[in-house]
A and B are shown apart, each in its own frame.
Chain A
Amino acid sequence: MILGRVTGNVVGTIKHPSFNEYALLIVQPLTADGSPKGNRMLAVDHAQAGPGDRVLVLSEGSGIRQILGDSSSPIRALIVAVVDAVDCELE
């Protein structure tokens, strides 16, 4: 799973039906100490996350189809938690 920060959202009307009723958010992946790492990605929200929140992103399609109960969902990144704290000592 990926630690990230929500930086915004994307709106689209024409989309695969599996995206209906979910928000599509922009996530900046972070290292454990909170610094940005790599390119921003898109993730579907399943944890009532919003801009500025630190989140946990599940990036495994089969697990996502199980959580959403939609066996034909092409969603590949799902926000499954809003992170309160990360306690990690980096060398």
Chain B
Amino acid sequence: MDLARVIGTLVATQKVEGLEGVRFLVIQPIQPDGSDAGEPVIAADAVYSAGPGTIVWFTASREAAIALPEPFVPVDAAIVGIVDQINDSSEESRP
């Protein structure tokens, strides 16, 4: 599971059965310090409250579909939480 910043929305009218009502967002995976980590991906919004600019955490692979109301859908990234606060002290925790 990783942090990400929502950078856009995606609309698809014609889609596989089971995906009705599922919102798709474009997310940029980030590190705890806010820097980009890899390429943007499309994720389903399983908490129904993320929007552009929101910092979220997401789950990938099989677990993404499990987060949705219909768990047997072709989805491999899903937003499962909205971040309120990040506390990270990676420098001082080094051995």
Contacts and interface: CB of A to CB of B under 8 A. Distances in A.
A42 B82 contact: no
Interface residues of A, number: 35
B89 A51 contact: yes
Q: How big is the B interface, by class?
A: 35 or more
A61 B63 contact: yes
B1 to A, nearest CB: 4
Given A39-B31, A40-B88, A74-B80, 20 more contacts: A5-B94, A7-B90, A10-B3, A11-B86, A11-B87, A12-B85, A14-B47, A14-B81, A14-B82, A15-B81, A15-B82, A16-B46, A16-B81, A28-B93, A39-B2, A39-B37, A40-B32, A73-B66, A76-B1, A76-B63
Interface of A: 5-16, 18-19, 24, 26, 28, 34, 36, 39-44, 51-52, 61-62, 72-77
